[in-house]
């Protein structure tokens, strides 16, 4: 199975909103409500931001929200802040021989 497809980069100004997409197939993103999003700052381990498509773990700002339509999941970050600048990865359950897939990652730049 191929990695999930994400835009390589997105950008926004402080206070604005950005949305990062994650496109898979009906065998992964579209087939299950198991999509997570991770934030990774340089030199650190990823941090869980969204689970089960839209659930925010305790401690994650409500500026982060997740959704899904068909085979595409999305992460929206509202009220952009400088510290949001990071790489973001989607992750989906996919069944099959490789049941867990990551997206290629999206670099968010806060202008």
Partner 1 sequence: QVQLVQSGAEVKKPGASVRVSCKASGFTGYFIHWIRQAPGQGLEWMGWINPYNGVTNYAQNFQGRVTMTSDTSINTFYMELSRLRPDDTAIYFCARSYSNIDYDYWGRGALVTVSS
Residues that bind partner 1 (CB under 8 A): 1, 3, 34, 36, 38, 45-46, 48, 51-52, 57, 89, 91-93, 97-105
Nearer to partner 1, 2 or 26 (CB): 2
Question: Per residue in 68-105, is it b (16+ CB within 10 Å) or e — as a string?
Answer: beebbbbbebbebeeebbbbbbbbbbbeeeeeebbbeb
Nearer to partner 1, 37 or 77 (CB): 37
Minimum distance of partner 1 from residue 90's CB (angstroms): 10
Nearest one of 48, 29, 21 to 37, comparing CA atoms:
48
Minimum distance of partner 1 from residue 93's CB (angstroms): 5
Nearer to partner 1, 12 or 105 (CB): 105
């Amino acid at each position: 199975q191929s990695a999930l497809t994400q835009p390589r980069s997105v950008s926004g100004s402080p206070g604005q909103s950005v949305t990062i997409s994650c496109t898979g197939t009906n065998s992964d993103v579209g087939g299950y409500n198991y999509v997570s999003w991770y934030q990774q700052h340089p030199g650190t381990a990823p941090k869980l931001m969204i689970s089960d498509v839209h659930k925010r773990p305790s401690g994650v700002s409500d500026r982060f929200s997740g959704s899904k339509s068909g085979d595409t999941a999305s992460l929206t970050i509202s009220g952009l802040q400088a510290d949001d600048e990071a790489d973001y990865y989607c992750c989906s359950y996919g069944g099959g021989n490789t049941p867990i897939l990551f997206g290629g990652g999206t670099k968010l730049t806060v202008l």
